[in-house]
Amino acid sequence: MSALYSETIQGITFITFNNPPANALSQGVLQELSQLLKKYEEIEETRVIILKGEGRFFCAGADIKEFTSLQQSTQYENLAKKGQNLFEYIENYPKPIIAMIHGTALGGGLELAMSCHMRFVTHDAKLGLPELQLGIIPGFAGTQRLPRYVGAAKACEMMLTSRPIKGTEAVTLGLANASYHEEELHSKVTAIAEVIAKKSPSSVKATLELLQYTKTSRYYEGVEKEAQLFGSVFNTEDAKEGVTAFIEKREPKFVGK
C-alpha cells in the first residue's frame, strides 16, 4: 500500500501521509514524496500544494527502525544527504508548499515542515528536534533551518533539551504562520491556499525564487557539515544505545563513547 495519496481540488493539491501509526519518513516514503512533487511540478492545474498527515500525527519523524539496517558512517551520511537534497528541492519548489500540522512534527517531520514555504499548526501541536534523546543529531538540515526561524538560542535549547514546543509557541517564535483549533485547521489553511491559487503563477514562482536569496554560503556549509557529523555520530556506542532504547521503549544509558 502506498504511504502517500494525493488529490487536486480547484488548483490545490493535497498530499497526505498515510503511513501508520506515526507517518514515519522511511527512505521509501521520501522517494515517493519526491516522485509526487516532480509530477505535480509539471501539472499546470496544481497551483498550491498542501502536505498533511492522516491519523494522529503530521509526521512523528524518521523511521528509526530503518537506522538499524545501516552499518557504516558513509551510509548514514548518504541518508542525510538524500533527505537534505529532497528538502532543498521543496524549499526551492516553484509552487507554494504548505505544511498543515496537527498532532506532532518531530525530528524529520519538523525538518520536512521547515523546508515548506509556510506552516500552519493546531494550538496543541508538538514541534521539535528530539534526536539528541537518542544519542544522534538532526540530519535533514534541521540544525541549519531551525535557527533561521526561532533564533540561535532557542534552537539550541530545543535541540539540546529535546523538548518540543506547542503550536501556539511556534507561532510566537516565527516557526509557524498561525495556529488553529484542530477542527478548523483544514478549512482555514485551504482558504489561504485558495487565495494564493488565484494569483498569477509566474509572479508566485518569481517571489518564491527571490526568497531563496536570503540564504548565505554559510548555510550550505552548515548543511554539508551536518551530513558528515550525522554519519560520524552514528558510529558511536551512544548512538547505537539510543536507537536500540527507542525501539525497545526504554530510557537510554549513555556512556560517552
Would you please indicate which residues are annotated as catalytic (active-site) residues?
111, 131
Beta bridge partners of 7: 14
Q: Give the E-state strand segments of 31-163 in sequence order.
A: 48-53, 97-101, 104-106, 118-122, 126-128
| R_g of the chain computed on alpha carbons | 18
The CA-based dihedral angle spanning residues 228, 229, 231, 232, taken in that order and rounded to the nearest 10 degrees: 120
Angle between helices 152-161 and 142-150 in degrees, nearest 10:
130
CA distance 101 to 122: 7
Closest CA to 51 of 83, 25, 79: 25
